[in-house]
A and B are shown apart, each in its own frame.
Chain A
Amino acid sequence: MIYDIRHLTTYSYEAPVGFARCTMRLIPTSSPGQKVLWSRLSITPAPSERRERVSFFGHVVVTVTIETPHSELSVEAHSRVDVDREGQMGLFLGRGWEDIRAEAFASNALSAASPAHYLYPSRLVSLDPAITAYAERSFTQGRPLLEAADDLTGRIKAEFAYDTKATAVSTPLKEAFEHRRGVCQDFAHIMIAGLRGLGLPAAYVSGYLRTVPPPGQKRLEGADATHAWVAVWAGSDLGWIGFDPTNNMRALNDHIDLATGRDYADISPVDGVILGAGDQDLDVKVDVVPVGAAGA
C-alpha cells in the first residue's frame, strides 16, 4: 500500500519570537516493511541554518535556527511511503516469553535495533510494580510472547477509555494508568512499562494511520493526528513486531512508522528553544491518503 502523507504543524505566538532553535523529527525513513519513496519538509519562516542527520535510532533529525522575528511558525512534512508488512501477517506465535527475555539479556549488539536499549526505564517510562503486575496477568508461564502481547494489547483497549481531555504530553504514566484513561501516547507508555517490568524489550513508535478506512470499515482512533504504538522484540529470528493498544491490532499495512525510540522523549516531532514571551497555540493537521488503485 502506497500512502501520500501530509503533516502540517503550526505554532502561533502571542508575542513575536525573535530566535528559535528546533529539532524536527517529521521525515519518515525506510525500514523493514516500509519504503520511503520521497519526502520533503518546508519551514516558514525560512531558517537561517538547517542541518539534517540520522539519529542513533535511525530517524531523520532536522535541526533549524530561525532568526527572523515571527508570530507564526509552520512546518509542513509531505512524503510518499510504500508499506508492505504482508510478511508479518499470520506469524507463528513463536517461543515462550521467558526464552526471549533470556536472549535479550544476553544480547551482544549495541545497534539501534538491539533489544538492550529497550529493557530499562527511560525518561518518560518509569517502572511501576502495579503496571508490571497488570501486564503479568497476560504473561503466564511459558506462554508464547506474541500471544501474550496480543492479549495485553486487547486488555488495554478494553479496559482503558480513549479520552483526549484526560491527559497532556506531560501527564505521568502512573496517573493515566490509575484513571484507566488517556490517548495513544499513554497507552503505548503503559504497555511499554508493563513489558519492561517483566524484563521484555519494548520500544515506542510514532507514526500515522490511514485517515479514511477502506469501505465498510470503522475509522480508526487517532487517524487525524500523529499516532503512537508499541514495538515488541520477539527474538532475533522475528525481530520487532508492532502492537497498537489504542486500536487493539497489530501495526501492519494501516500503520506508517515515523520514528522509533525508547519513549516519546526520544522522538517528539518538534522540540526546541525559542526566545520570546507570551503564550502560544499549536495546531496539527494530518492527512494520510492511499495512492492509486487502492486509494479512497
Chain B
Amino acid sequence: MPADATHRVPPLSDDRGDAAERRFLDWIEGYRPLPGIPDELFGPDGQPRPYWRRFLETLAAVPAEESERRFAAANRHIRDAGVTYRVYGEENDRSWPLGRIPLLIDEREWRGIAEGIAQRASLLEAILADVYGHGYLVADGALPAAAVTGSEDFLPEAHGIDPPGGRHLRIYAADIGRGPDGGWWVLADRTQAASGAGYALENRLVSSRAFPNLYNEMNVERLAPFFGAFRTGLTEAARRSDPRICLLTPGPFSQTYFEQAYLARYLGFLLVEGDDLIIHEGRLHVRTVAGLKRVDALWRRVDADFIDPLEFNSASRLGVPGLMQALRNGEVVVANMPGAGFVEGRALMGFLPALSQRLFGEDLKLPNIATWWCGQPRERAFVLDRLDDLAIAGAFDRSVPGLGSPAPVPGRSLTGAAREALVAAIERRPIDFVGQEVVRLSTMPVWEDGRLEPRPFVLRVYAAATADGWTVMPGGFCRVSSSPDARALSMGEGVQSADVWVLADKPVEITTLLPRSDAVKTRRIVGVLPSRAADNLFWLGRYLERAEATLRLVRCLCSSLIEADPAIHGTSPALERLERLLVAWGAVAPEQLGNPGAVATAALHGEANYGSAVALVRSARRTAARVRERLGSDAWRALTALAELLADDPHGLLTEAEAFDRADRALQWLGTLSGLAQENMNRVAGWPFIDIGRRIERGVVTCRFARQFAADDATVDDLDVLLDLVDSQITYRSRYIAGFALAPVRDMVALDPFNPRSVAFQVLRLRDHLAALPSLRADGLLEAPSRLGIALAAEMTTLEAEQLDVGRILAIEQRLLQLSEAIGSRYFLHGPGIARPEKLTGLA
C-alpha cells in the first residue's frame, strides 16, 4: 500500500468493505491505458496515482446502487436547471452531458500550471499593448507583420487606442493537455470571448451535490474566489465607485447563451443585447424602463467584428454603433478589448518562446506545442521537409485551401493528389499555413456501464486580471472525448464534460461570492430593468395567461361533456359557444370541430394551432429563455415541467376525462408559476412587468368570455359556463341564493373590484402598477400609460351592471388593448427597430 494509506476510508462493515474493495479492484484491473499515451489515473510507473487511488477507494465505498442514484439525481438537476447548450438552429435546448468522474490534479502540479497560465496571460497582454501601440516588436523584426495581419481579429482601427482601465485582456483562457513527456502543454489561447467558465461553475455545483462527502474529504479548491477576482478587477477598472457592469450577449441563438445568462446572474451583471445599448453623448448607456443609464464596464461575448457596425461589420445587429469611439474617448471598460482576438492565431504560437525571452527575459513556464509559421522561408522549408512528422493547419482561424478541416491535419495522413495540392497551396501562399508538432493527448478515466475507460481530454483553464495581477481559476472546464479518438474534441457530438478538482494538501477555506458586510451599502432599489427584459417579462405574463384561458376553456368543455345528458350531447348552445371560442382563439382549426374529444385534444396538444396550450406554453418558455437570468430556477423548472406535460403527444384522441385531467394538471402548474412569481420574484426587479402582462391579458380574455356568455340573450347554461371559466361559481352561489341572473353575473365578472378574476380588478391592479413605475417626465405630468389606466379605472369603478351591455364590454376590451400599446411604446424598445440604409452609394 502506498504512503497515502492513512487517507483510506475505514470499511463500514466487513461485507460492505469487501464489496467496496472488490469494486475498486475491478475498476483498476479493468482499466487499460492506451499504449504509449500518458494517463491521469495511472502514473508513469504503471501504478494508480495516490490521489486517484484515494478518490476511487472512497467512491467504491458507496454501494453501486446508491452511486447510481446519486449520479441520476445530479443528472436530473442538470436537466431541470436548464444547464443546456443550444445546437444552432435547433428549436429546443439540449441537455448537456456531464461525466461522472472529475479530473483530479494535485496542488503541487496545479501550481506549475497556474504560474504558466499567469505568465502567458501577461505575455499576451504585453504583445497586444505593443502591436496596438508603439509597434516595436514588428519594427524590430521580432514578429513579422504578416503573422499579425492575417488574423481576422487583428483590427487596424483599434490601433492607438489606450484601453480604458489599462488592459486589453481581463479574462484569458487556454486549452491545455498533458503531452507525451508528462508535462502540460498549451494547445490554444482564447482571448476573444472564451466560453466555458459558467459550465465549470455549474459542473462543480452538480458534482459537489452528488458526492458532498467525497468533495469535502478530497480538499477540493473552491471556484468562487476566482469569479470574485474577475468582478473585482472589472469594478476597479471602472471610474465610478459603484459601477454598472453589463454582459453583452449575442442573444438566445448563441450556443453558449445559457452560460452567459448564468454568469450574469451569478456575478450580478446586467445581461444585455446590442439593442439594449446606445452611445449617448459619447458614453455607453443601457436603455431601461427608467430611461438611459450609464454603463461603466462591458463584458463582451460578441466577437469584435460584430461589436460596432459603424466601424466593422456594417450588417451587424449584435453590437453597439459608436462603441469604438467611446473606447477612443476612454469612456467605457471593455473585457476583452476589441482586437485582442488576434493573439489566438496559430501563427503567433511559433514566436511566443522568443517573445517571452525578449519581453520578460524568461522561458515559457508552460510550453505551447511547437509551431512553425510558413510565412518565413526557413520555417517553410523545414515544414515541407518534415511533412510526415508534423501536423499542418491554417495559420489563422479561417479555412485554407488544401486542408479539409480547420483542425490540424497530420501530414502523414495525406497522400497522392491531396498531398500535392497541399504542397502547392503552401508554396503559393505560405503565409496561410503553420506546421505543428503532432500532439497525442493524455487520457483520463470516464464511467461507462459500470467500468472505467481511458479517454483523451482537453482542459480549459481561466485567468482573470485584477489590480494585483492574474488570478487563475483552480479548476476549469474539461472536455472528454467519448471515444478513444482525440480528434474533434470540440463541443460537437460524442463529447462530454468533467468537473476539474484541484486537490489541496490541507482542508480548504470556504468562501462564496459574499463580500464583507461592511463593504456593501444597504439598498432596496436594485439596479435597473433593461427595456428589452421588461418587454420579455410582459410577454411572458401574457402568454402564460393566454395559455391559462385555453386550458380553462378545455376544462370547462370537458366537464360539461362529462356531466351532460347523453341525449343532448354536443348540441347545447353553451358547448357550441365554447368550441367557437377555441376556434376564434386559434386553439382549434375549424375542420377539427365536430368531435368533442378531437376539439379538446387539438386545443391541448395541437402544435400547429397558435392558440393551443402547447403552442402558447412554448412561446412562454421561449420568452422566458430570454430573461432566464431573472427567473428563479424553480420557476424555470415549473415552466419546463408544464411544457413537457403539454408536449407529451397522446397519439390519438383523448377522452373527455383524460383531457379534463391533463388540462387540470397543466392549470396546477400555472398556479405554481404564478405563486412563484408572486412570492419569490423581487418586486423591484421586473415582477411588475410579468404581472402587468398577466393583468392585461386576463382583462381582455375575461371581456371576451363575457361577450360570449353574458350577452343579452344568455341562457342559464351560458351564465353557468361563464362563472366556471372565471372561477367564480362558489362566490356567486354564496352571494345570490336565487340563482343565475344576467346583471349580477355581469357585475361579478366585469365590475366587482373584490373578485380577483373580474375585469375591474385587473384594471385597478394595472393602475397601481403604472403609478409605481419610474416616470421620465420632469414636469410632474402623467405619462400616457398611467393616464389611460387611471381613466379606465375610474370608469370601471363608477359603472353599474345595469349600464353594461356587450357594446360597452367591447369598448373596455379595446381600451385595454390601447393601454397595452401605450405600455409597449413607453417602456419597451422602439417598435420599428433600427433599420439600415441598404443602398449606400452610387458606384460606377
Q: Which residues of A line the B interface, CB within 8 A?
A: 9, 11, 21, 23, 49, 51, 53, 55-57, 63, 102, 104-110, 112, 114, 116-117, 119-121, 123, 127, 129, 132, 164, 168-169, 183-185, 197-199, 221-228, 246, 265, 268-277, 280, 282-284
User: Is A272 a contact of B310 with CB atoms below 8 Å?
Assistant: yes
20 A–B pairs (Cβ distance < 8 Å), ordered by A:
A21-B279, A21-B310, A23-B310, A49-B281, A53-B328, A105-B376, A105-B430, A109-B145, A110-B135, A119-B431, A120-B431, A169-B839, A184-B843, A184-B844, A197-B428, A270-B841, A271-B309, A273-B309, A273-B836, A277-B835
Complex: chain B residue closest to A285, CB-CB: B842
Chain A residues, CB < 8 A from B396: 120
Q: How far apart are B317's CB and chain A's nearest CB, in angstroms?
A: 9
User: Is B841 a contact of A272 with CB atoms below 8 Å?
Assistant: no
User: Is B146 a contact of A225 with CB atoms below 8 Å?
Assistant: no
A269–B844 CA distance with the chains assembled, in angstroms: 13
Chain A residues, CB < 8 A from B149: 110, 114, 116-117, 119-120
A274–B837 CA distance with the chains assembled, in angstroms: 7
Given contacts A108-B144, A168-B839, 15 further A-B pairs with CB under 8 A are A9-B841, A21-B321, A23-B311, A104-B146, A108-B145, A123-B313, A169-B840, A169-B843, A199-B428, A223-B844, A226-B842, A226-B843, A272-B321, A276-B835, A283-B842
User: Is A129 a contact of B401 with CB atoms below 8 Å?
Assistant: yes
User: Is B832 a contact of A272 with CB atoms below 8 Å?
Assistant: no
Complex: chain A residue closest to B429, CB-CB: A199
User: Is A183 a contact of B844 with CB atoms below 8 Å?
Assistant: yes
- Which of the residues A57, A105, A121, A270 comes within 8 Å of B837, measured between beta carbons? A270
A277–B836 CA distance with the chains assembled, in angstroms: 10
A118–B430 CA distance with the chains assembled, in angstroms: 15
A111–B837 CA distance with the chains assembled, in angstroms: 32
Check if B254 is an interface residue, CB within 8 A of chain A. Answer: no
Q: How far apart are A242's CB and chain B's nearest CB, in angstroms?
A: 16
Check if B314 is an interface residue, CB within 8 A of chain A. Answer: yes
Check if B138 is an interface residue, CB within 8 A of chain A. Answer: yes
For the complex of A and B, the 4 pairs showing the least CB-CB separation, nearest first, are A222-B844, A284-B842, A116-B145, A56-B156
Q: How far apart are B346's CB and chain A's nearest CB, in angstroms?
A: 14
Complex: chain B residue closest to A274, CB-CB: B835
Check if B838 is an interface residue, CB within 8 A of chain A. Answer: yes
Q: A102-B377, A108-B139, A225-B844 are in contact. Are A280 and B146 (CB under 8 A)?
A: no
Check if B519 is an interface residue, CB within 8 A of chain A. Answer: no
A121–B830 CA distance with the chains assembled, in angstroms: 37
The A-contacting residues of B in range 803-840, CB under 8 angstroms, are: 830, 832, 834-840
Chain B residues, CB < 8 A from A21: 279, 310, 321-322
Complex: chain A residue closest to B328, CB-CB: A53
Q: A56-B156, A274-B835 are in contact. Are A226 and B841 (CB under 8 A)?
A: yes
Complex: chain A residue closest to B305, CB-CB: A123
Chain A residues, CB < 8 A from B148: 110, 116
User: Is B840 a contact of A221 with CB atoms below 8 Å?
Assistant: no
User: Is A284 a contact of B841 with CB atoms below 8 Å?
Assistant: yes
A142–B82 CA distance with the chains assembled, in angstroms: 63
Check if B722 is an interface residue, CB within 8 A of chain A. Answer: no
A105–B509 CA distance with the chains assembled, in angstroms: 54
Q: A169-B843, A224-B844, A275-B835 are in contact. Are A55 and B398 (CB under 8 A)?
A: no
The A-contacting residues of B in range 302-331, CB under 8 angstroms, are: 309-311, 313-314, 321-322, 325, 328
Q: Which residues of B line the A interface, CB within 8 A?
A: 131, 135, 138-141, 144-146, 148-150, 156-157, 159-160, 279, 281, 309-311, 313-314, 321-322, 325, 328, 375-377, 396, 398, 401, 428-431, 830, 832, 834-844
Chain B residues, CB < 8 A from A114: 145, 149
Chain A residues, CB < 8 A from B145: 107-110, 114, 116
Chain B residues, CB < 8 A from A197: 428-429
User: Is A271 a contact of B156 with CB atoms below 8 Å?
Assistant: no
A123–B839 CA distance with the chains assembled, in angstroms: 17
A187–B839 CA distance with the chains assembled, in angstroms: 19
- Which of the residues B146, B837, B839, B844 comes within 8 Å of A272, measured between beta carbons? B837
A222–B838 CA distance with the chains assembled, in angstroms: 21
- Which of the residues B146, B398, B830, B840 comes within 8 Å of A119, measured between beta carbons? B146
A277–B832 CA distance with the chains assembled, in angstroms: 6
Q: How far apart are A3's CB and chain B's nearest CB, in angstroms?
A: 17
User: Is A106 a contact of B835 with CB atoms below 8 Å?
Assistant: no
Q: A117-B149, A129-B401, A282-B842 are in contact. Are A55 and B139 (CB under 8 A)?
A: no
A283–B840 CA distance with the chains assembled, in angstroms: 10
Chain B residues, CB < 8 A from A275: 830, 832, 834-835
User: Is A107 a contact of B146 with CB atoms below 8 Å?
Assistant: yes
User: Is A169 a contact of B830 with CB atoms below 8 Å?
Assistant: no
A275–B835 CA distance with the chains assembled, in angstroms: 6
Q: How far apart are A227's CB and chain B's nearest CB, in angstroms?
A: 5
Chain A residues, CB < 8 A from B160: 56
Chain A residues, CB < 8 A from B837: 11, 270, 272, 274, 280, 282
User: Is A269 a contact of B377 with CB atoms below 8 Å?
Assistant: no
Q: How far apart are B336's CB and chain A's nearest CB, in angstroms?
A: 20
User: Is B832 a contact of A276 with CB atoms below 8 Å?
Assistant: yes
- Which of the residues B146, B157, B314, B401 comes within 8 Å of A55, measured between beta carbons? B157
User: Is B156 a contact of A112 with CB atoms below 8 Å?
Assistant: yes
A106–B122 CA distance with the chains assembled, in angstroms: 27
- Which of the residues A63, A116, A223, A228 comes within 8 Å of B310, measured between beta carbons? A63
Chain A residues, CB < 8 A from B398: 121
Complex: chain B residue closest to A57, CB-CB: B156
A57–B311 CA distance with the chains assembled, in angstroms: 12
Complex: chain A residue closest to B374, CB-CB: A105
User: Is A269 a contact of B841 with CB atoms below 8 Å?
Assistant: yes
A53–B311 CA distance with the chains assembled, in angstroms: 12
Chain A residues, CB < 8 A from B430: 105, 199
A55–B328 CA distance with the chains assembled, in angstroms: 12
Complex: chain B residue closest to A73, CB-CB: B837
Complex: chain A residue closest to B317, CB-CB: A273
User: Is A119 a contact of B139 with CB atoms below 8 Å?
Assistant: no
Complex: chain A residue closest to B155, CB-CB: A56
Q: How far apart are B160's CB and chain A's nearest CB, in angstroms?
A: 8
A284–B159 CA distance with the chains assembled, in angstroms: 33
Chain B residues, CB < 8 A from A271: 309-310, 314, 840
A221–B844 CA distance with the chains assembled, in angstroms: 7
User: Is B138 a contact of A282 with CB atoms below 8 Å?
Assistant: no
A129–B830 CA distance with the chains assembled, in angstroms: 46
Complex: chain B residue closest to A162, CB-CB: B844
Q: How far apart are A90's CB and chain B's nearest CB, in angstroms?
A: 28
A117–B138 CA distance with the chains assembled, in angstroms: 13
Q: How far apart are B390's CB and chain A's nearest CB, in angstroms?
A: 20
User: Is A109 a contact of B139 with CB atoms below 8 Å?
Assistant: yes
A63–B282 CA distance with the chains assembled, in angstroms: 11
User: Is B843 a contact of A228 with CB atoms below 8 Å?
Assistant: yes
Complex: chain A residue closest to B144, CB-CB: A106
A102–B835 CA distance with the chains assembled, in angstroms: 45
User: Is B310 a contact of A226 with CB atoms below 8 Å?
Assistant: no
Chain A residues, CB < 8 A from B835: 273-277
Complex: chain B residue closest to A270, CB-CB: B840
A223–B844 CA distance with the chains assembled, in angstroms: 8
- Which of the residues A221, A268, A273 comes within 8 Å of B834, measured between beta carbons? A273
Chain A residues, CB < 8 A from B376: 105-106
- Which of the residues B157, B279, B281 comes within 8 Å of A56, measured between beta carbons? B157
User: Is A269 a contact of B139 with CB atoms below 8 Å?
Assistant: no
Complex: chain B residue closest to A281, CB-CB: B839
Q: How far apart are A8's CB and chain B's nearest CB, in angstroms?
A: 10
